[in-house]
């Protein structure tokens, strides 16, 4: 969501900070700002809208300095405008602060501060922090930050500078990601490594309850009792070109076309064909536990929740373990049945999703073992889970997830294979799965090679107002995902349903103006889906079918056909979702919309 960048060193920080913010644009935001120590005090420029508006404000009134903080805001408290944009200041204008997260008790704190003479100028919860630090300040910025945060309830990732204690940045985190970048005679703070990768590959990830004090020549990490904490340094091993478009019109299109490689990366070294087995070295779970666990809970949000539904079907069919899929946002607010024989699998592309992280912590508190499926190395979920599987899909910049989804499904397939072979699956059945997995990259490429055909279909639906997506079995979650992709980036209302449930309500919507997408490969429930196609066509619906071979039963009943290669039932979602990603992309692009940064959405949702 919101983005933070900070710099202390010898260089002019203005351009460096603004460029860092540009690397964070994919996260979603509605305003931006920057504060610099200019040698005499703190100077700030802010603007509503995109970073280009901030650049214009800086060009009109240039600012310079060697220490600064910058921010992109995704509005929570107060509308998106220049006043509510970060950074925020204290009454004197000597303290400047940027903040990701939500201060839950900001209202009573604000009332308390107003009674003691503090004046507020914004609608935000964040401004409270600046005034709390001002009230606690006695010459040392980090001590004031510690005192202020002791009064705060909620989540935060903050970076603070003060003209009264210059030459340093103080940063702290609780529930919102933050990292330190280590340079030569300079240091950085950021909410996402993409902001600083151009300048350093050496980073230190802060954990909850930790604070960092950065100067030009040093950094120190401590807890909120001011006790020094020893931290390891991590090296970022992916290159800057991974967050460039590489000649594609949008990051989303680039990431769709990367999927033959990304799912191969997820499988590399993990799928063992000759044994029909999978190696998942990071599980940290004993063979005995995996053989005798009595239930699996998979918890996730959004697209990750759809991959979880596919995982549920895989594991129950092949490993014969009871699986429940939970919305992470609901899991911790009820009284779930969890025991020491429960495995809680948490899925998050970023590894920072607030609801998913909280659900994992709740499961651990209740005694469950936790397994994280994440894409971001060094993320909070990856550091706090009992074991994990990295997706290795590379940075995903487009807000609408594509390659992370297919990598999640592959990771769940590998987990299914491991569980099944440990419990009840023969080597012959295992080999069938590993061979089908190995064929997927080339099969996806054949679909991508026909992208222009899908683009032509998209032209017919640019002006559609509603879509219905229908699937059964493994492809019902694909219907949900296809509908989500369309509404995320094209703003067309779309719903996904089990195909048989169409008769129990949605069929009332079907007329000659209603496009209906059927996900109908030749799997175990294909014949049933054909019956549903006939029901839609009889009512004049415009039918798009994704299927896997020529089928006489569909002749004359469909308006558009998209063909995918054949595979085993459990892996069809990896293939059938590709045309839906492309269809959503082309419709949105032809509507002239910002595909990579759809309105109101954020890449990493780090607030409830």
The mean pLDDT of 89-108, rounded to a whole number, is 94
Instruction: Name the region of 561 (left: φ>0; alpha: ψ -120 to 50; beta: rest).
Output: beta
Predicted confidence at residue 599, as pLDDT, reads 84
- Going by pLDDT thresholds of 50, 70 and 90, the confidence category of residue 513 is confident
- Going by pLDDT thresholds of 50, 70 and 90, the confidence category of residue 607 is low
Predicted confidence at residue 385, as pLDDT, reads 94
CB atoms within 10 A of CB 582: 27
The mean pLDDT of 304-318, rounded to a whole number, is 97
- Going by pLDDT thresholds of 50, 70 and 90, the confidence category of residue 606 is low
- Could you read off the pLDDT of 517-560 as tens digits, one per residue? 999 998 888 888 888 888 888 787 889 999 998 878 778 888 99
- Could you read off the pLDDT of 555-588 as tens digits, one per residue? 888 899 999 999 999 999 999 999 999 999 999 9
Catalytic residue check, 230: no
Please report which residue ranges of 44-140 form alpha helices under DSSP H: 51-60, 106-115, 126-136
- Going by pLDDT thresholds of 50, 70 and 90, the confidence category of residue 501 is confident
CATH 3.40.50.10490 fits 243-446, yes or no: yes
Per the CATH hierarchy, to which homologous superfamily does domain 3-237 belong?
Aminohydrolase, N-terminal nucleophile (Ntn) domain (3.60.20.10)
The mean pLDDT of 451-471, rounded to a whole number, is 95
The mean pLDDT of 59-82, rounded to a whole number, is 92
Tokens (6 digits) for 544? 């798009």
Predicted confidence at residue 604, as pLDDT, reads 60
Could you say which of 2, 174, 301, 403 is catalytic? 2
Catalytic residue check, 222: no
Please list, in sequence order, all residues whose beta carbon lies within 8 angstroms of the beta carbon of residue 604, skipping any fewer than 6 positions away.
Answer: 1, 27, 177, 192, 349, 350, 352, 353
Start-to-end CA span in the chain (Å): 12
**Is 532 in contact with 476 (CB distance < 8 Å)?**
no
Tell me if the bond preceding 457 is cis, omega within 30° of 0: no
The mean pLDDT of 83-111, rounded to a whole number, is 94
Could you say which of 48, 168, 174, 603 is catalytic? 603
Closest C-alpha to 576, from 507, 520, 530, 538:
520
188-206 burial: b if 16+ Cβ within 10 Å, else e: bbbbbbbbbbebbbebbbb
Predicted confidence at residue 608, as pLDDT, reads 58
Architecture of domain 451-590: 3-Layer(aba) Sandwich (3.40)
Domain(s) of CATH 3.40.50.10490: residues in the chain:
243-446, 451-590
Predicted confidence at residue 600, as pLDDT, reads 78
DSSP 167: S
- Going by pLDDT thresholds of 50, 70 and 90, the confidence category of residue 163 is very high
Q: Which own/partner contact pairs does 104-108 have at CB distance under 8 Å and 24+ positions apart?
A: 104/153, 104/154, 105/152, 105/153, 105/154, 106/77, 106/154
- Could you read off the pLDDT of 248-278 as tens digits, one per residue? 999 999 999 999 999 999 999 998 888 899 9
The mean pLDDT of 317-321, rounded to a whole number, is 95
The mean pLDDT of 290-308, rounded to a whole number, is 95
- What element of type H or E holds 325? strand 322-327
- Could you read off the pLDDT of 108-162 as tens digits, one per residue? 999 999 999 999 999 999 999 999 999 999 999 999 999 999 999 998 999 999 9
- Could you read off the pLDDT of 378-399 as tens digits, one per residue? 888 999 999 999 999 988 888 8
Closest C-alpha to 319, from 423, 411, 413:
423
Share the mean pLDDT of the chain.
92
**465 phi and psi angles, rounded to 5 deg:** -105, -20
> Which comes out higher in pLDDT, residue 484 or 244?
484
Distance CA 236, CA 239 (A): 8
- Going by pLDDT thresholds of 50, 70 and 90, the confidence category of residue 602 is low
CB atoms within 10 A of CB 443: 18
Share of the chain above pLDDT 90, in %: 76
Domain(s) of CATH 3.60.20.10: residues in the chain:
3-237
Burial status of residue 379 (CB atoms within 10 A of its CB: 0-12, 13-18, 19 or more):
buried
> Which comes out higher in pLDDT, residue 111 or 244?
111
Q: Is the pLDDT of residue 208 over 80?
A: yes
């Amino acid at each position: 969501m919101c983005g933070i960048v900070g710099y202390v060193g010898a260089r002019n920080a203005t351009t460096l900070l603004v460029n860092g913010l540009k690397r964070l644009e994919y996260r979603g935001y509605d305003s931006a700002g920057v504060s610099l120590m200019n040698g005499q005090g703190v100077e700030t420029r802010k603007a509503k809208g995109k970073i280009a508006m901030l650049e214009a404000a800086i060009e009109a009134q240039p600012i310079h300095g060697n220490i600064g903080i910058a921010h992109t805001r995704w509005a929570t408290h107060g509308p998106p405008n220049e006043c509510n944009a970060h950074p925020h200041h204290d009454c004197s204008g000597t303290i400047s602060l940027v903040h990701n997260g939500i201060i839950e008790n900001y209202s009573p704190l604000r009332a308390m501060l107003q009674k003691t003479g503090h004046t507020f100028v914004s609608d935000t919860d964040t401004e409270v922090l600046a005034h709390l630090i001002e009230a606690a300040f006695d010459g040392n910025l980090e001590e004031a930050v510690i005192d202020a945060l002791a009064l705060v309830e909620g989540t935060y990732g903050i970076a603070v500078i003060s003209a009264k204690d210059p030459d340093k940045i103080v940063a702290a985190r609780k529930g919102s990601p933050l990292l330190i970048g280590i340079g030569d005679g300079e240091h950085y703070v950021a909410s996402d490594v993409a902001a600083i990768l151009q300048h350093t590959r050496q980073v230190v990830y802060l954990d909850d309850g930790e604070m960092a004090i950065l100067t030009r020549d040093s950094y120190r990490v401590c807890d909120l009792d001011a006790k020094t904490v020893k931290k390891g340094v991590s090296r970022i091993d992916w290159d800057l070109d991974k967050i460039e478009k590489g000649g594609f019109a949008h990051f989303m299109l680039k990431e769709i076309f990367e999927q033959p490689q990304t799912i191969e990366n997820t499988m590399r070294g993990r799928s063992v064909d000759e044994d029909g087995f999978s190696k998942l070295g990071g599980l940290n779970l004993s063979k005995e536990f995996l053989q005798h666990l009595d239930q699996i809970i998979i918890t996730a949000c959004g697209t990750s929740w759809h991959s979880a539904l596919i995982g549920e079907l895989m594991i129950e069919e092949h490993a014969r373990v009871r699986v429940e899929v939970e919305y992470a946002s609901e899991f911790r607010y009820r009284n779930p049945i969890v025991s020491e024989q429960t495995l809680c699998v948490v899925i998050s592309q970023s590894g920072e999703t607030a609801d998913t992280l909280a659900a994992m912590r709740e499961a651990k508190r209740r005694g469950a073992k936790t397994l994280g499926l994440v894409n971001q190395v060094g993320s909070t979920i990856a550091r706090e889970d009992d074991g994990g599987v990295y997706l290795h899909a590379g940075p995903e910049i487009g807000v609408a997830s594509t390659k992370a989804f297919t990598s999640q499904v592959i990771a769940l397939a590998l987990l299914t294979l491991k569980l099944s072979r440990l419990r009840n699956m023969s080597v012959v059945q295992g080999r069938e799965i590993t061979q089908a997995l190995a064929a997927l990259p080339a099969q996806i490429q054949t679909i991508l090679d026909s992208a222009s055909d899908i683009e032509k279909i998209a032209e017919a639906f640019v002006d559609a107002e509603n879509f219905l997506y229908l699937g059964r079995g493994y492809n019902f979650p694909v219907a949900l995902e296809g509908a989500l992709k369309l509404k995320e980036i094209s703003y067309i209302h779309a719903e996904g349903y089990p195909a048989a449930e169409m008769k129990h309500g949605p069929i009332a919507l079907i007329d000659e103006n209603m496009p209906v997408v059927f996900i109908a490969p030749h799997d175990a429930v294909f014949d049933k889906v054909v019956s549903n196609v006939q029901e839609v066509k009889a009512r004049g619906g415009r039918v798009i079918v994704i299927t896997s071979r020529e089928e006489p039963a569909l002749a004359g009943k469909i308006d558009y056909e998209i063909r995918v290669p054949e595979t085993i039932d459990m892996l069809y979602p990896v293939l059938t979702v590709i045309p839906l990603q492309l269809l959503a992309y082309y419709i949105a692009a032809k509507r002239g919309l910002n595909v990579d940064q759809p309105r109101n959405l954020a890449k990493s949702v780090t607030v409830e």
